[in-house]
Structure formats: structure tokens, C-alpha cells
Amino acid sequence: MMPLLDKEASSLVRNERGSRRRLACGTMYAYVRFLIQEKGGLHINMTNRMYQTPFAMAEIPAPSIPNQTFRVDDYKDHSVGMESDYGIIQRAIEACSKQGGGTVIVPQGDWLTGPIHLRSYIHLRFETGAVVTFSDRFDDYLPVVFTRWEGMECYNYSPLVYAHECEHIAITGDGCLIGSGEAWWHWKQLQQEAANRLCYAESDGIPVQERVFGTERDALRPSFIHPINCRNVLIEGITIKNGPQWTIHPVYCENVWIKGVTVVSHGPNTDGLNPDSCSNVLVEDSYFETGDDCIAINSGMNEDGWRVNKPCENIVIRNCTMKEGHGGLVIGSGMSGGVRNVYAHNCRISGGDRGIRLKSMRGRGGFVENIWFENIEINDVREEAVQINMYYGYSTVAPRSVKPSDFKRITIRNITGKGAGIAVEIRGLPEQRLKDIVLENIRLAADSAMVCSDVEGIRITGLEIAAADQKMAEFNHVHALQLQQLNVI
């Protein structure tokens, strides 16, 4: 596990000011590791993290956590049995926060809990063998809190793990969090009326303060882990199973590091990870097996996304494995605030509906630009291995407008795989063509080869497709096509 740079470590660095001035920013963390080993005993293992992005991106700092610990089992409520003590973890967090922060340890064993609300400078660590099961009683997640539900601001049930306007927070360890999502999943069939009201609230002039839900009638399910308006967030090592809806859902956060997590959730709309209008996000060495998109980058939905107008930007995804999602690596469709500067590389996608998927529809607006996918293996997806599609047709609520999205400067290279339904689909709109698309060194086997339409500027180099139907690639309304080494066999 990658421990945190606590305040004592920060002090050590400040005390070595002469040496610090000689260090470049990119080597700072390697120096901290060396320094602390020499000083003897904080057991920090910071590494030099070089992102090698094709865009400018600052190093993501680790949370700074005070060097004191609080054990959950010291905060038992002796008036109730452990089988009904749903507040024990929260009591330990509050005690730790009152002392200025530190590490809250959840030891080995079975634990029950209601919603967990983090505070600034809190590190929540789940030790090996810790299994935390969240309450399946809906009223335990009241009162309502400020949240973003499928890209629209409102007040709704508390997420299972929630942080609002916090800084320097971490959730780490080898424990398992079980979200009891089965109790919530049938709400998918009951949510439409409330979803309609929320989706149209901005165009109807309803302010956020009046968008209050949080009833079984409304049936809007909460996210699992949901920091909102937070800075310096670390989520590492934990296993997360079967939440109500989206699993890891940071919103309006800056400096988010997700490392070595395992997400397994098979319910409806149980996306694995949804960075939502965040900046500076690193996702690495993680596994996603989900009932919807594995990783989907978002930035708000329709009119409410335009109002907030906060892009999701500077995102790195590397060395991750995706299995059985609706899409493996996804941008959209809720990207109305814009998405830019995304670099996803060295990942594996197997099973599920689609591999690399960029999706939008008329009415979303927004933009997607400066995107790179490279060195990705995609096997046995049922539909498209690679897709950029402006005709996404599965929105929870149909948009009222027809405002198109602007997708441009997208590079997809060094892609391999077999067993897809369609190798590549690139579909813009007649009124808003896709722009500046690069497909390079792609080798795929699929039932069908490629469809490309309504694109202004596309360069294809080294695209080889073994197509079972032996039909050639189709190009319609494509301008400024640069074609080298396109082989369909």
C-alpha cells in the first residue's frame, strides 16, 4: 500500500530546505522517500510518479494526514450489540476530527455501518480481513445531502461514503466494502418521474435548493463513494462490491488518486468509476467488473451541466483491467460541461458490450478534446471495440434541446484484440462533424470492419481488421481523409 505523506514527513522536508531547493518538482517524492528512510521510521513509501502525458499536468500530491491513530473498536456503543451498532465507524471519525485528524483504523472482522461522512485530514484505513456491510435501510441515509445525480445537482439520500468540501482525505487498505445494493436496484424501475423532474429542473427555472428528493417514491439511488468539492483525495487498495448505483464518483474534486482498487458490482447503472467535473485525476492498477460502464468520464448533463460549466480535465488512466461493463474506457454521455486532456494507456478490456467508447447525443452540448487512448487490448466485446458515436440512444431522460457536442483532437493508437462485433465505428452529426481524429496502428478481429461518417479530418495509419463478413470499411460524408495502410482481410 502507498502510505500518506503525513505532517511529520512534511516537516522533515521543510527542515531540509537547502536540499529541497536543488530538487526538480518531478523528483520531490523520491527525495521524500529517501529522506524519511534516512531519518528512520515513518515508513513512508512515496515514489516518483511521472505521468508522461501529452499535455501539461502537475503532480498530484498525496494527502497530508496527522500522525495519530484511532481504532474503531475503541468506540463501541455498549448500550447496543455489535449486530445493531451502525454508528461505530462514524463515531471514530468524529473523535479523530476533533483532534485535528489522523488515521481511523477499521480492524479485521465484520462491521455494520450506516453512511460514513469523512472530514478533512481523515485517513480511513481498512485492515486485511475487515468486511464492512452498509445498511440496507433507506432512512439511515437521511437527511438529504448536496449531491450530483447523473450529472444534475440536487439534494438526495446520502451516499454510502460521503465527503463535502473536505481536503486531505484518504480511504485505503485491504478491506472489503459491501454496499447492499440489492435492496436499491429495483428502484431503477421506479425512478423515471423523479428523474424527469430533475433533468428538466434547470430549463424549468428550479434552483438547486428546491431540488429536494430523498424519498422512496422518488427512488433516486445514491452513489457509493462520493467526495464532492474536495481536494487531495486518495482511494487505494480496497475492494468495493454492489453499491446502489455509481460506485466511485468524485465530483468537483481536484487532485484525485485512485490506485489498486477492485470494483465488482452487477446491478443496474453500477458504473465503476465516474470522475465528474474533476481536475488532476490519476487512476492506476485497478480492476473493474460492473453492471454499466467500467470507467466513464463525465461533466454534467444538459442544461444543468452548461450552468455549472466545469470541465473534467487532466485525467490519466493506466494499467487497469476492465471486464463485462457496458463500456470499458468511456467518455460521456453526460459531458455537457466539457472533457479535455485525457490520457488512457496500457489497459486491458475483456467481455462486456464495448471497449473504448466516446458517446454523446443531440441535446448534450459541451465538448470533448485532446484525448489519447493507446496500448490497449480489447477482447470479446459484443459490440464495437472502438466507438465514437454522436447518436447515443439510452439517456435516462430525453433532452429538450438539440444542441450538439463538439468532439475533436482524438487519438487512438496501438490497439489490439479479437472477438468484437464491429471493430471501429466513428459517427459524427451532419451539423457537427467530428474533427481531427487519428487512428494509428490498430489490429482487430471482428464480425464487421468499420463505419465512419460525418467527420472533418481523419488520419488512418496502419489499421488492419480481420472481418468475418469480409466487407470493406464504409466512409460517408468524410472530409480531409488521410489514409495509409488500411487493410480489411
Catalytic residue among 326, 345, 353, 454: 326
**Angle CA 306–312–315, to nearest 5:** 165
Residue 484 placed within a domain: yes
- Share the mean pLDDT of the chain: 91
Output the pLDDT for position 12. Answer: 38
Decide if pLDDT at 359 tops 90. yes
- Do residues 107 and 250 both lie within one domain? yes
Output the pLDDT for position 392. Answer: 96
Output the pLDDT for position 293. Answer: 98
Residue 311 placed within a domain: no
Single-letter code of the amino acid located at 113: T
Output the pLDDT for position 3. Answer: 43
Residue 123 placed within a domain: yes
- Do residues 17 and 101 both lie within one domain? no
Domain boundary among 241, 267, 292: 292
Give, in order, the Cα–Cα distances in Å from 400 to each of 191, 201, 427: 19, 11, 22
Section 274-281 average pLDDT = 98
Decide if pLDDT at 158 tops 80. yes
pTM attached to this predicted model = 0.91
Cα–Cα distance measured from residue 251 to residue 396, given in angstroms and rounded to the nearest whole number: 20
- Do residues 238 and 102 both lie within one domain? yes
Q: How confident is the model at residue 108 (pLDDT cuts 50, 70, 90)?
A: very high
- Do residues 172 and 275 both lie within one domain? yes
The 3-class SS string of the chain reads: CCCCCCHHHHHHHHCCHHHHHCCCHHHHHHHHHHHHHHHCCCCCCCCCCCCCCCCCCCCCCCCCCCCCEEEHHHHCCCCCCHHHCCCHHHHHHHHHHHCCCEEEEECCEEEEECCEECCCCEEEEECCCEEEEECCCHHHHCCCEEEEECCEEEEECCCCEEEECCEEEEEEECCEEECCHHHCHHHHHCCHHHHHHHHCCCCCCCCHHHCECCCCCCCCCCCCEEEECCEEEEEECCEEECCCCCCECCECCEEEEEECCEEEECCCCCCCECCECCEEEEEECCEEEECCCCEEEECECHHHHHHHCCCEEEEEEECCEEECCCEEEEECCCECCCEEEEEEEEEEEECCCEEEEEECCCCCCCEEEEEEEEEEEEECCCCEEEEEECCCCCCCCCCCCCCCCEEEEEEEEEEEEEEEEEEEEEECECCECEEEEEEEEEEEEEEEEEEEEEEEEEEEEEEEEEECCCCCCEEEEEEEEEEEEEEEC
Q: How confident is the model at residue 83 (pLDDT cuts 50, 70, 90)?
A: confident
- Do residues 341 and 483 both lie within one domain? yes
79 vs 374 pLDDT, higher one:
374
Residue 434 placed within a domain: yes
Task: For 311-357, write each residue's pLDDT tens digit.
Answer: 999 999 999 999 999 999 999 999 999 999 999 999 999 999 999 99
Section 374-399 average pLDDT = 95
* Strands 254-259 vs 279-284: parallel, antiparallel or unpaired: parallel
Alpha-carbon 79 to chain mean position: 40
- Do residues 254 and 386 both lie within one domain? no
Section 193-209 average pLDDT = 98
Output the pLDDT for position 8. Answer: 41
Decide if pLDDT at 47 tops 70. no
- Do residues 173 and 144 both lie within one domain? yes
Output the pLDDT for position 81. Answer: 75
The question of whether 326 is a catalytic residue gets the answer yes
Catalytic residue among 292, 304, 353, 454: 292
The question of whether 168 is a catalytic residue gets the answer no
Share of the chain above pLDDT 90, in %: 87
Section 462-471 average pLDDT = 96
Decide if pLDDT at 190 tops 70. yes
Greatest alpha-carbon pair distance for the chain in Å reads 74
Output the pLDDT for position 459. Answer: 98
Q: Quote the domain boundaries for residue 388.
A: 325-489
CATH number, domain containing residue 412? 2.160.20.10
Output the pLDDT for position 488. Answer: 95
Decide if pLDDT at 477 tops 60. yes
Residue 27 placed within a domain: yes
Residue 379 placed within a domain: yes
- Do residues 240 and 365 both lie within one domain? no
- Do residues 202 and 262 both lie within one domain? yes
Cell 496500448 belongs to which residue? 375
Task: For 131-149, write each residue's pLDDT tens digit.
Answer: 999 999 999 999 999 999 9
445, 403, 406, 409: which is closest to 424 by C-alpha? 445
- Do residues 37 and 152 both lie within one domain? no
Q: Domain count of the chain?
A: 3
Give, in order, the Cα–Cα distances in Å from 332 to each of 97, 300, 338, 340, 419: 37, 9, 9, 12, 24
Output the pLDDT for position 10. Answer: 43
Of 28-42, 203-217, 263-277, least confident by mean pLDDT is: 28-42
Q: How confident is the model at residue 388 (pLDDT cuts 50, 70, 90)?
A: very high
- Do residues 95 and 162 both lie within one domain? yes
Output the pLDDT for position 156. Answer: 99
Residue 302 placed within a domain: no
- Do residues 271 and 169 both lie within one domain? yes
Output the pLDDT for position 82. Answer: 74
Domain boundary among 48, 71, 87: 48
Output the pLDDT for position 4. Answer: 60
Residue 117 placed within a domain: yes
Section 23-46 average pLDDT = 34
Of 5-19, 32-46, 168-182, 418-432, least confident by mean pLDDT is: 32-46
